Each structure stands twice: as C-alpha cells, then as structure tokens.
Amino acid sequence: MTPNTEAELAEIIRGADGPLRIEGGGTRPIGAPSNGARLSTAAMRGITLYEPGALTLVARAGTPLADIETALAAEGQRLAFEPMDHRGLLGTSGTPTIGGVVAANVSGPRRIQAGACRDFLLGVRFVDGRGQIVKNGGRVMKNVTGYDLVKLMAGSFGTLGVLTEVALKVLPRPRSMGMLRIEGLSDAAAVAALCRSLASPYEVTGAAHLQQGPDGTSVTMIRLEGFENSVAYRAEALTRLLAEYGTWIFEADTDKTAAHWAHIRDVGPFQKQAGNVWRLSVKPTDAPGIVADLPGARAFYDWGGGLIWLLAAEGSGLSAARVRSAVAARGGHATLIRGNRSQGAFPPLPAPVAALQEGLRLKFDPRQILNPGLMATGAAV
C-alpha cells in the first residue's frame, strides 16, 4: 500500500485488520522484522515550504533525502545533524526518505556538537494507530506550546504513528571544512585527546578514532568547519593544545575532509565486513574500557568516544549478553544495528521506563498494528 495523501493513509490505517510494516525508502531495516502488510510513505513526497532566511524547511515524509539536500545546497544550507546513510552498512538499496531519517532519529558525527535529528525537528504530522491525524510542534524554532510529541516521534520507528510531514531547522553550510589527523594513538590516548578538543573553545564538529586506518595503524581525526581563516586558526590552536599526543597533520581541503567524514558517518570501516554490528552510546571516557572488555571485537569511535561502532565477527564469542553487560557495567546502551534481527535489537529498559513506553504504545496504537514488536528489547543483563 502506497497512499498518496495523509487522508488516504489515515483511511488505510483505520481500515487495517492486521499488522502493518511501515516503510519510507526501506533502507534502514533496524529492529525486529515485521510480517505485516507493507505500508510505504514513498508517494507522499515534496518539499512544502522552504524559507532559507528563517532556516526552516517542511517536507512530506516520503520526500527523498537527496531532494532535500539538493534544495538546501542550492541555498548554501544543510541538515546539520548529518544523517547517516545506512545502505552501505546494511546492504540495502532504495531511496532514503526524510521520514525514515526522523523515524529512526538518524544523526552523524556532527551530533556531538550540533545535536541529533530530534534537536532539529520543529514539527510533525502523523497518523496514529487509530487512524487519527495528529500534529505537534510547528515550523518555528522556539515553541513550548503543549507537550513535545515531536521528540517522542523522532526515533519511535513508526511504532506510535506514521509520519506524514516533518518540519526541520536547517543551518548554513560553512564555507570550508578541514581536519587534524594523527596516527598511532592508543584508544585511551585518542579518546583523551578528543575529549580535550571537544572541551576547547574551538568548535570541533567531528571527533573520531579508528583502531585501524587504511594502512593498519590507528587514525585519530578532528574536524573543523567555518570560514577558511577561522578553520586554519583553530587548527593551529588545537595543534598546540594537543601537542603532547604527537604531531597533528592539518588537512585544509574541504572535499578530502568531507570524504573522510562520510566514511565515518556511514560506518565505512564495517561495510562489506561480515559480523554483527553494534552501536553503543556511552560516556566518552568510558569507551576505551568498554572496548577493552570485549576482546575479539573490532571497534571505532565517533562523538569523541561517546559512540562506539562495534563489529562482532562470527566466532568472536561476543554474544548480545556480553556486549550489553560490558555497557551496563558503566552506563549507556547498546543497539544491534546489523545481525539477527529477531533477537531484540534495542537495549533492555528498567521496569518503570518499560511500563511507560508500553503504556504510550497502547495509547497511540491500541490495536498494536504499527510495526508491532519492532522495538523489542534484548534480555536484561
């Protein structure tokens, strides 16, 4: 089913007599697979409003992300939360949609400085599980009128309602981008250096560490964006600040820098590599210890250590329970992004939190027909 309008979508949901599998472009199969009837938002597309001078864009949920990025680029703007493209990692094809980005709250390396998708989401329209059309938020940047269902919808993976339209805050695209890079640091030294860079006034917009760079040695990278002179100035200041870690190399070329960070954003290191892929959200300084507790895993770090991408190859002995307990010991959570999707991909929740989430799902989707079970949690450890 591929409704053309919000009204048609509402009609379909009202008349549904069984589970529905909600899909945007179908490029992000995360969480437990559903055997419901396919319901695609792809035909509800188009940018309905774009005011560059107000930094706002409104688009229907099925609008291809690429269309939005093209429209923004024409005005020298962008989605600052830098949504990841999951196709390479998950081996999917298809056209990522803005609705899919929002439903999965997809962000990228800049999340550490600029915020996540949910932080740029100003308003939503959606159809809930009873076929009711609901709007929340709006198209303005500051809005505290009533409860914030906008944040709730971001990252709800279609389990509370099917998005039909989203309003986003956009930002100017900086004139240039550059990066500092150093090789050979241990995980612990790298995370310490990245944390120090993020705690500096130099507006770092990317802070990542690869255990294995292209030539096998580790690579630590710090991204800077802005006016050209300013990027150069801050690169120099950071080189001095982080001198104890060794000699940092400055890459001033915007395109080369962008390519490096697209690789990080799209989890390039684990594309076409067999094994389960985990996404761990942790306190940055805890990250090297967590990785050390999981021998046999390959890892790389984004968000200054706060995001660990983990590859657990078959035969590594790294069960879900082992990964989750390494995280639980220090705080944070782990989500299985690629692997056996029926085993409960999402992190286990404390009982009172699980009860609230369950209560919300029953309110918004009393018949439990919207992606039922997709956000099933793994066993508590």
Q: In the window 156-175, what residues touch another protein (CB under 8 A)?
A: 156, 160, 171-175
Q: Based on CB atoms, which residue is closest to another protein, 9 or 42?
A: 9
| Closest CA relative to residue 27, chosen from 106, 82, 81 | 106
Q: Based on CB atoms, which residue is closest to another protein, 143 or 239?
A: 143
Residues 200-219 within binding reach of another protein (CB under 8 A) = 200-201
- Is residue 5 at the binding interface for another protein, with CB under 8 A as the rule? no
Query: Would strands 37-40 and 20-23 be described as parallel, antiparallel, or unpaired?
Result: parallel
| Closest CA relative to residue 292, chosen from 206, 198, 184, 211 | 211
Among the residue ranges 36-44, 230-238, 261-269, 312-320, the one whose residues contact another protein (CB under 8 A): 230-238
| Closest CA relative to residue 182, chosen from 107, 125, 117, 238 | 238
Among the residue ranges 96-104, 140-148, 179-187, 216-224, the one whose residues contact another protein (CB under 8 A): 140-148
Q: Based on CB atoms, which residue is closest to another protein, 38 or 363?
A: 363
- Is residue 325 at the binding interface for another protein, with CB under 8 A as the rule? no
Contact string (CB under 8 A) for another protein, positions 294-313, x = contact:
---------x--xx------
90 Cβ neighbours under 8 A, 6+ residues apart: 27, 28, 29, 30, 337, 338
Rounded CA-CA distance 93/248 in Å is 38
- The Cα-based distances of 153 to 136, 158, 170, 264, 273 in angstroms read 10, 8, 19, 26, 32
Residues 28-67 within binding reach of another protein (CB under 8 A) = 51-56
- Is residue 220 at the binding interface for another protein, with CB under 8 A as the rule? no
- Is residue 288 at the binding interface for another protein, with CB under 8 A as the rule? no
| Buried residues in 210-240 as b, exposed as e (16+ CB within 10 A) | bbebeeeebbbbbbbbbeeebbbebbeebbe
Q: Based on CB atoms, which residue is closest to another protein, 64 or 288?
A: 288
- Is residue 227 at the binding interface for another protein, with CB under 8 A as the rule? yes
Q: Based on CB atoms, which residue is closest to another protein, 45 or 111?
A: 111
